[in-house]
Chains A and B, each alone.
Chain A
Amino acid sequence: MSDISFVRTEMLPEQDPPASEVGALGWAKHNLFSGVFNSILTVVSVFAIYFILAALVPWAWSPTWNATSLAECREILSGLGREGHFSGACWGVINDRWVQLFMGFYPSDYYWRPIAAFILLGVALSPVLFAEHVPAKLVWFSALYPFLMPWLLWGGSIWVPLMVLAGFVVSYAVYRFLVAQVSELISLIVAVLVAVVWWLLLMGPLSGVLASIIPIGIEAVGSRQFGGMMLSLTIGVVAIGFSLPIGIVLALGRQSDLLIVKALCVGFIEFIRGVPLITLLFVASTLLNIFMPPGTSFDIIMRVIIMATLFASAYMAEVIRGGLAALPTGQYEGADSLGLDYWQAQRLIIMPQALKISIPGIVSTFIGLFKDTTLVSVIGLLDPLGLSNGIRANAEWNGVVWELYGFIALMFFVFCFSMSRYSMYLERKLQTGHR
């Protein structure tokens, strides 16, 4: 038997990993200095961060919150011995105008109305966004919300939105009545005609009469008083809301076998997507009234909303087309094999799935549109950016630049960032259903 005493018989105690591999040092080694190139990158970026912060922080750290004019800001700063162009921010302008930047010229007594409208928007969307946490009955509120929101924002008699709603009810009743007697297509056409007649001819007088009998309503607020962030949100939300049904129709039209219908839809989508939004806004501000019958006059915010809706519809159509394309062919074939007709298949099988897939796309379309609403300042509307011009035209704040831009950028960032994060979460949540 050979001597095997050189083989160790007992185990060595476990040793700690080398100090350079664990803890802060090890982390830094792996994540920051894992190579020459990486080390250079790290050093450069740290310098860049330092450089930016060194310029920004002393400027932003400026006790001028209570100043009432730029001149007073300058006084406060020179009192602290800070002279020069970039000596410090003048936060007084934000203190003075932040409410205006959010609410525009909306009467201050009614601030609760836009706030309520946008909070209720969250409630109305919750059946879609937090489906598992809210009762299914809430979907009824979501259906009513499109009538509630304009009423809250613009005010006026309660009967108008109710009568608009009644149009849908009447139209649906006519459809149900007719569909038992004649063909589906005919009853659909008649129902649509009835609705149009109701809205164009009957609704106005009827709601007038009802309002004079039972006057229930809240103070009307003209859309000229909309401004600031609230205007951006209103344009964004209303345009996206209307663009959803239009976008669905356009997407279906683009997918359809009917040549002329397809050509019309493709033409519309490509036209809208091919021109800059600013040209569409110019159409809203200069041409839309010329296109309408003589004597018609929408106010400018309505016109902008109309053009923004058309704009969003084209993009929405593409998003929904993507959702439709993502559905496996088996879903279409399955619907066909069940003997469902085109509309039944769309309503019961295709659309619910396609829309669910499209939600992240819809959210990002909304974010895009919401950001693009800053363009309305070019045609003279007072969105936050437009208001900043008006604010700088006051003798007190003439010459303020960075504080306003920075604040506006921050407002947009907070809104858009939280929405995009939420949409990412939603995407992850919905993805599990398909894997």
Chain B
Amino acid sequence: MTTLTDPPQESFRLSQLIYDTRYRSMTIQIVALIGFLLLLGWLFNNTAQNLADLGKEPSFRFLGEPAGYDINQRLLEYNSQDTHLRAAFVGLLNTLVVAVLGCITATFLGVAIGVLRLSNNWVISKLMMIYVETFRNVPVLLWIVFTMAIMIETMPAPRAFKGDNPAAQMMMNDSVAVTNRGVYIPEPLFSNTLGDVHLFGAASMRFDVSLDLLALMLVLGASLWGANWFRKRADKIQEVTGDRPKTWHVRLGLIVVPTAILLYILGFHLGYPELKGFNFKGGTHFRNSLIALWLALSLYTAAFIAEIVRAGILAIDHGQSEAAAALGLRPKRIMNLVILPQALRVIIPPMISNYLNLTKNSSLAIAVGYMDLTGTLMGITLNQTGRELETVLLTMAIYLLISLSISAVMNVYNNSVKMVER
């Protein structure tokens, strides 16, 4: 006969830290943590000692000093007397501009190419295959340099527009000039402008917000909301009565009329580029470096996105669309309600990492002289001040922040389209 006994109440022994699985994981973790802290301390100590030997003291004071160099492509006003911090800020905005533009075009291009690659047109599908393989298998840095070189060599210089019988002509009724310095397009101007709001006073982060643009966006937003409301109302009527009232003309009017009225009040007109002196003046100037970088990054990333899209579409079982058809859904609805939601589930995670890659690859801007964050903070500022530790770490921190924000936003979206598995 056995008796139930309490387990032996043993006192804690040191060896339990290793042999007892209850404590062992704790031991491993603490050892790992101590090791990590020791490593950090060691690196920190080395750095401090090396910097002391070099006679340098880590300090971010240089960020407040005048940068001394000019930046051509910029969204904010900036001159060489502004601080290094301001230059870095201008560079950061340039990085974001090229990243956002690149992600948008790469997505459109990539989806188009991915779909065309599945086309039953032999020439097109082979051409798209060649495109994808060529772009995927050659380094992106080469593509950037290549694109820039092609743009420089094949587009006309502003000089070619001069004279009585010029070698080059402006396009679109003399409103667009394509040169090897960039593309000049008309810019929107307002004769009764509301002015700008200056944010952050005189700080390095200061920037102006155009009230005209703000007003336009507000009105457009309100119009869109109204149009949407109108459509929803039509849905309700349809549900109740079975008849759907015609809405498109009202909706179009709701969107167009208020915006047009506002544009008229603001005195909207276009400023056209004109050849004056060495360059075109007026209009909006997209510099070559921006276009080359944007184009190269888009084309390169599009090749990857095309493969993702293709894989996503191919991953959906044929039975799905057949089943949907059997239910009596029309092809467009099959695409929207059955295929796409499932394909997106496959497509989105690798898409996120491609957006991240594009953003990170935009740091190759220095190869074409586009002044992004790498070109300003980790480029000229580093070189002029000799503060490699501070500039490189700061640049890394900013990129890390951008990457983490992108993946956070995209992950939220990803979770919203994710199918709940049962």
Determine if B138 and A279 form an interchain contact, defined as CB atoms under 8 angstroms apart.
no
* 8 Å CB interface, B377-392 against A: 378, 382, 388-389, 392
Known: A275-B400, A409-B142. A401 touches B149 (CB 8 A): yes
In the complex formed, the residue of B with least CB distance to A282 is B392
Determine if A291 and B137 form an interchain contact, defined as CB atoms under 8 angstroms apart.
no
Known: A278-B364, A287-B389, A417-B133. A49 touches B127 (CB 8 A): yes
Determine if B25 and A405 form an interchain contact, defined as CB atoms under 8 angstroms apart.
no
Q: Within 8 Å of chain B (Cβ to Cβ): is A41?
A: yes
Determine if A264 and B403 form an interchain contact, defined as CB atoms under 8 angstroms apart.
no
Q: Within 8 Å of chain A (Cβ to Cβ): is B107?
A: no
Chain A interface size, as a band, is 35 or more
When chains A and B are docked, how far (Å) is the Cα of A2 from the Cα of B50?
114
In the complex formed, the residue of A with least CB distance to B130 is A49
Determine if B137 and A257 form an interchain contact, defined as CB atoms under 8 angstroms apart.
no
Q: Within 8 Å of chain A (Cβ to Cβ): is B83?
A: no
Min CB distance, A387 to chain B, in Å? Answer: 13
Which chain B residues lie closer than 8 Å to A412 at the CB level? 137-139, 142
Min CB distance, B69 to chain A, in Å? Answer: 19
When chains A and B are docked, how far (Å) is the Cα of A385 from the Cα of B29?
45
B contact patch SS: helix
Min CB distance, B38 to chain A, in Å? Answer: 13
In the complex formed, the residue of A with least CB distance to B124 is A41
Which of B115-123, B226-234, B258-266 lies at the interface? B115-123
Q: Within 8 Å of chain B (Cβ to Cβ): is A274?
A: yes
Known: A85-B153, A183-B18. A371 touches B140 (CB 8 A): yes
The one of B47, B142, B396 in contact with A291, judged by C-beta atoms closer than 8 angstroms, is: B47
Q: Within 8 Å of chain B (Cβ to Cβ): is A270?
A: yes
When chains A and B are docked, how far (Å) is the Cα of A278 from the Cα of B403?
15
Min CB distance, B377 to chain A, in Å? Answer: 10
Q: Within 8 Å of chain A (Cβ to Cβ): is B32?
A: yes
Min CB distance, A126 to chain B, in Å? Answer: 23
Q: Within 8 Å of chain B (Cβ to Cβ): is A433?
A: no
Determine if B399 and A34 form an interchain contact, defined as CB atoms under 8 angstroms apart.
no
The one of A258, A261, A277, A286 in contact with B388, judged by C-beta atoms closer than 8 angstroms, is: A286
* 8 Å CB interface, B381-422 against A: 382, 388-389, 392, 395-396, 399-400, 403-404
Determine if A374 and B139 form an interchain contact, defined as CB atoms under 8 angstroms apart.
yes
Which chain B residues lie closer than 8 Å to A289 at the CB level? 50
Determine if A374 and B392 form an interchain contact, defined as CB atoms under 8 angstroms apart.
no
Min CB distance, B126 to chain A, in Å? Answer: 9
Determine if B121 and A41 form an interchain contact, defined as CB atoms under 8 angstroms apart.
yes
Min CB distance, B122 to chain A, in Å? Answer: 4
Known: A31-B121, A286-B392, A420-B137. A279 touches B363 (CB 8 A): yes
Determine if B121 and A274 form an interchain contact, defined as CB atoms under 8 angstroms apart.
no
Q: Within 8 Å of chain A (Cβ to Cβ): is B367?
A: yes
Please, how many residues of chain B have a CB less than 8 angstroms from a CB on the other chain? 57
Determine if A417 and B119 form an interchain contact, defined as CB atoms under 8 angstroms apart.
no
The one of B120, B123, B133 in contact with A46, judged by C-beta atoms closer than 8 angstroms, is: B123
Min CB distance, A278 to chain B, in Å? Answer: 5
Min CB distance, A361 to chain B, in Å? Answer: 12
The one of A27, A31, A258, A402 in contact with B28, judged by C-beta atoms closer than 8 angstroms, is: A258
Determine if A258 and B29 form an interchain contact, defined as CB atoms under 8 angstroms apart.
yes
Known: A31-B121, A34-B120. A294 touches B50 (CB 8 A): yes
Q: Within 8 Å of chain B (Cβ to Cβ): is A38?
A: yes
* 8 Å CB interface, B230-253 against A: none
Q: Within 8 Å of chain A (Cβ to Cβ): is B168?
A: no
| B18-47 to A contact mask, C-beta < 8 Å, 1/0 | 110000110011101100100000010011
The one of A270, A402, A413 in contact with B138, judged by C-beta atoms closer than 8 angstroms, is: A413
Q: Within 8 Å of chain B (Cβ to Cβ): is A351?
A: no
Which chain A residues lie closer than 8 Å to B24 at the CB level? 185
Q: Within 8 Å of chain B (Cβ to Cβ): is A349?
A: no
The one of B119, B374, B399 in contact with A274, judged by C-beta atoms closer than 8 angstroms, is: B399
Q: Within 8 Å of chain A (Cβ to Cβ): is B101?
A: no
In the complex formed, the residue of A with least CB distance to B29 is A260
When chains A and B are docked, how far (Å) is the Cα of A238 from the Cα of B191?
63
* 8 Å CB interface, A38-62 against B: 38, 41-42, 45-46, 48-49
Instruction: Tell me the B residues contacting A by CB distance below 8 Å.
Output: 18-19, 24-25, 28-30, 32-33, 36, 43, 46-47, 49-51, 53, 116, 119-124, 127, 133-134, 136-142, 145-146, 149, 153, 356, 360-361, 363-364, 366-367, 374, 378, 382, 388-389, 392, 395-396, 399-400, 403-404
Known: A42-B121, A377-B141; 15 extra A-B contacts, CB below 8 A, are A27-B122, A31-B123, A41-B119, A41-B121, A46-B123, A48-B127, A49-B127, A183-B18, A273-B356, A274-B403, A274-B404, A279-B392, A286-B388, A371-B138, A405-B149
- The contact sample of 18 A-B pairs, CB cut-off 8 A, is A31-B122, A41-B121, A42-B121, A42-B123, A183-B18, A258-B25, A259-B29, A264-B36, A277-B360, A279-B374, A279-B396, A286-B382, A286-B389, A287-B389, A371-B138, A401-B149, A405-B142, A405-B149
